[in-house]
Amino acid sequence: MIRKGMKLYSILFGVCPKCHQESMYLNKNPYVISKVIKMHDQCSHCKTRYQMEPSFFYGSMYVSYGVGIAFAVAAFITTYIIFETSITTAFISIVLTLVLLFPVIMRLSRNIWINIFMKYDKSLANK
Ligand SMILES: [Zn+2]
């Protein structure tokens, strides 16, 4: 299934994009709101710097738009089409989904963004 070495592993679990050995975040739980985007400066295993250039993660805002739309569409399909609720209920479910999953969406966007620029390196993982 999803294992180390796959980009999806780094994206879903927020681990170092090059070695997949440790979390990029100070706190693994995204719902500790004060630390939702606090990251280590570099990977302690392979010494990869996560912030490749100043303001590197501003670019993840573009990704978060797409990720947010994906969650909103999923919420809409679930409530309006599968459970056949009213359009108002479907709208409320979209808003609730986006608010409650905001920390998850932020982290997923950062993980996708950094994985666009870095890829898994088996030699670093085995160091
Ligand atoms: Zn690493």
Distance between Cα 122 and ligand 1 center (Å):
11
What is the model's pLDDT at position 108?
97
What is the model's pLDDT at position 23?
95
Indicate the pTM of the whole model.
Answer: 0.92
Distance between Cα 26 and ligand 1 center (Å):
14
Our CA dihedral for 32, 42, 16, 23, rounded to 10 degrees, sits at -30
DSSP, residue by residue, 37-62: T-B-SB-TTT--BS--STTGGGGHHH
Distance between Cα 16 and ligand 1 center (Å):
5
84 burial via Cβ count (<10 Å: 0-12, 13-18, 19+): exposed
Q: Please give the share of the chain, as a percent, with pLDDT higher than 90.
A: 94
- Which stretches within 54-101 are classed as H helix? 60-76, 87-100
Distance between Cα 74 and ligand 1 center (Å):
33
Q: Please give the share of the chain, as a percent, with pLDDT higher than 70.
A: 100
Q: Count Cβ atoms below 10 Å from residue 62 Cβ, excluding itself.
A: 11
